[in-house]
Amino acid sequence: MVGVNLLVLVPFFEISARQRSYISFYSVFLSLVILTLGLLLSSRDFRTNAERFHACALDLSRIYNELDIQLELFGSPTNVKDYEKFAKKYHSVISKYNINHKKLDFDVFKATNITEFPEMTKIKGFLVHIKYFFCVYFVYLCIIIVPLAVGGMLFL
């Protein structure tokens, strides 16, 4: 950003009035994009979500450990009340945190562990990874490439 603005001041380059106006527009446009992205990303509150995911995982891990001990001792929960007890604990944790991953996250997990999910074919797994790329990385890739391409065209 600073480099683009300094191009106007550096005497080594012959810059026409038209190119100066493009650089000014480009500079203002990129400043607005950076400001907007900064506001959008800071409003997503990643830290709070990460803490909630972690606390939920710890509570679910406790329930899993209790169930694992029961399975080790008795082979399975001994009666319907035991099943209901674990189900109530599980549902209370889920409703307490009211946070979950997106469906795409589970699809990526299935595509990564394709041998454990027979309904996930290699083609479906590939398509899931393509969808994940476009949903997660494509915007940032465009934010990097488009300004570079526009900046390169300024000096043609």
Other CB atoms within 10 Å distance of the CB of residue 104: 13
Helix axes 138-154, 17-43, angle to 10 degrees: 170
CB 30 within 8 A of CB 1: yes
Angle at 109 between CA 89 and CA 114, to 5 degrees: 120
Report pTM.
Answer: 0.54
Q: How many CA atoms lie within 13 A of 13 on its CB side?
A: 16
What percentage of the chain has pLDDT greater than the value 90?
Answer: 22
- Closest-CA residue to 147 (of 17, 16, 18, 28): 28
- The number of CA neighbours under 13 Å toward the Cβ of 23 is 17
Alpha-carbon span 148 to 154, nearest angstrom: 10
Strand stretches in 8-154, DSSP E? none
Are 111 and 129 in contact by the 8 Å Cβ rule? The answer is: yes
133-151 residue pLDDT tens: 998 888 888 877 877 777 6
From first to last of its 156 residues, the chain has per-residue pLDDT tens of 666 666 666 666 677 777 777 777 877 888 888 888 888 888 877 888 889 889 999 999 999 998 888 888 877 766 778 888 888 998 898 888 877 778 888 899 999 998 889 899 999 999 999 999 998 888 888 877 877 777 677 666
pLDDT recorded at residue 1: 62
